[in-house]
Amino acid sequence: MPEYIYPTYAHTASDQDGTWQGHKDRTPPSVNPGMDYACAYGSVVVAAKAGVIRVADSTMGGSGGRLVYITHPDGDETQYLHLSRIDVTAGQTVTQGQQIALSGASGFGSDRYYGPHCHVSLYLHGVNVDFQKYVNITDSHGGGGSNKEDELSAAEVAEIKAHVTAETNRLAEYVRRESRMRLYKNSATGQFMAASILSGRYEILSGQSEVDSLVKNGYLEIANGDAATPQIVDDLRWRNIIAKCPVNIKAIAG
Ligand SMILES: [Zn+2]
């Protein structure tokens, strides 16, 4: 088992920064550099390594939104930000791979301040480092144990890695496109709705100002490609969109 595993199914950073270094070099500089893994809202988030929950904070007021910090036995720490739900409490012991939360987009008091992603920070003895360089490494201490890659030829390893990279990029692109909410307008009532069929999330929006702020933050994709006029749907189509969303969410719309 690697020392650190990926906390989400997504293994590539979102396109905003692409790398830990890019995250660190933001203007102004990021106070907590990490990897931003784009993943559908509500995706399972697991502990990258066994440890004890040091912080489980649902107050969501700061830039990190809902967050969980795990202290590991060697004193290192992983941090998971912008969560939509937290499944652990401070002081709780967790195993590697144990579900700790659901991913989200929370920050600054809003449940969707950002586009949906999971931010992961790694601190080695208090120093913030590039998590991507440590995740899924089976022999990070240079110690014994066989590495399965040794049994394959270099060409075979390269072919497998290229395949995995291509598949990962394809999935990441799909998630980036489909987890973003689309904007609809009901021609009968004038109501706006943001809906993501992939994540099963949708909401009736309060009005034009909420639409504008979601578009500005890159959270909303205008379905017909025109930012000024959202896709207008009639009553029947509107109901069909709602009908595709999960039953538990459907109740909110009434
Ligand atoms: Zn981040």
Instruction: Tell whether 119 and 54 lie within a shared domain.
Output: yes
Distance 76 CA to ligand 1 centre (A): 19
Instruction: Tell whether 91 and 106 lie within a shared domain.
Output: yes
Instruction: Tell whether 191 and 169 lie within a shared domain.
Output: no
Distance 16 CA to ligand 1 centre (A): 9
* Average pLDDT of the chain to the nearest whole number: 79
Give how far Cα 229 sits from Cα of 106, 109, 184, 201, 226, Å: 27, 28, 9, 22, 6
Instruction: Tell whether 187 and 170 lie within a shared domain.
Output: no
Instruction: Tell whether 129 and 198 lie within a shared domain.
Output: no
Instruction: Tell whether 163 and 198 lie within a shared domain.
Output: no
Q: What CATH number does residue 62 fall under?
A: 2.70.70.10
Domain membership of residue 147 (yes or no) is no
Instruction: Tell whether 109 and 195 lie within a shared domain.
Output: no
Distance 192 CA to ligand 1 centre (A): 29
The pLDDT of 42-57, averaged and rounded, is 96
Would the pLDDT of 208 be above 60?
yes
Quote the number of domains for the chain: 2
Check residue 15 and give its pLDDT: 56
Distance 61 CA to ligand 1 centre (A): 16
Distance 54 CA to ligand 1 centre (A): 20
Would the pLDDT of 99 be above 60?
yes
Which range of residues forms the domain containing residue 222? 180-253
Instruction: Tell whether 6 and 98 lie within a shared domain.
Output: yes
Domain membership of residue 145 (yes or no) is no
Distance 120 CA to ligand 1 centre (A): 7
Instruction: Tell whether 44 and 104 lie within a shared domain.
Output: yes
pLDDT one-digit tens code per residue, 226-237:
445 566 667 777
> Is 182:223 a contact under the CB 8 Å cutoff?
yes
Residues in the chain: 254
Q: What's the pTM value of the predicted model, to 2 decimals? A: 0.57
Distance 162 CA to ligand 1 centre (A): 26
Distance 28 CA to ligand 1 centre (A): 13
Instruction: Tell whether 190 and 94 lie within a shared domain.
Output: no
Domain membership of residue 144 (yes or no) is no
DSSP string, the chain: --SB--SSS--SB-TTT-SHHHHHT-SSPPSS--EEEE--TT-EEE-SS-EEEEEEE----STT-EEEEEE-TTS-EEEEEEESEE---TT-EE-TT-EEEE-BB-BTTBTBSSSSEEEEEEEETTEEE-GGGTBT-TTTT--SS--GGGGS-HHHHHHHHHHHHHHHHHHHHHHHHHSSEEEEEETTT--EEEEETTTTEEEEE--HHHHHHHHHTT-EEETTS-TTSPEEE-HHHHHHHHHHS-HHHHHHH-
Domain membership of residue 213 (yes or no) is yes
- Neighbouring C-alpha atoms within 13 Å toward the C-beta of 246: 8
Give the angle subtended at the CA of 200 by the CAs of 199 and 204, to the nearest 5°: 115
Instruction: Tell whether 18 and 103 lie within a shared domain.
Output: yes
Instruction: Tell whether 130 and 21 lie within a shared domain.
Output: yes
Would the pLDDT of 70 be above 60?
yes
Distance 78 CA to ligand 1 centre (A): 13
What phi-psi label fits residue 35: left (phi over 0), alpha (psi between -120 and 50 degrees) or beta? beta
Distance 249 CA to ligand 1 centre (A): 28
Distance 36 CA to ligand 1 centre (A): 5
Give the angle subtended at the CA of 140 by the CAs of 139 and 143, to the nearest 5°: 55
Distance 90 CA to ligand 1 centre (A): 22
User: Bigger pLDDT: 201 or 90?
Assistant: 90
Distance 188 CA to ligand 1 centre (A): 40
Distance 139 CA to ligand 1 centre (A): 27
The pLDDT of 30-55, averaged and rounded, is 92
φ, ψ for residue 229, nearest 5 deg: -130, 105
Would the pLDDT of 69 be above 70?
yes
Check residue 13 and give its pLDDT: 78
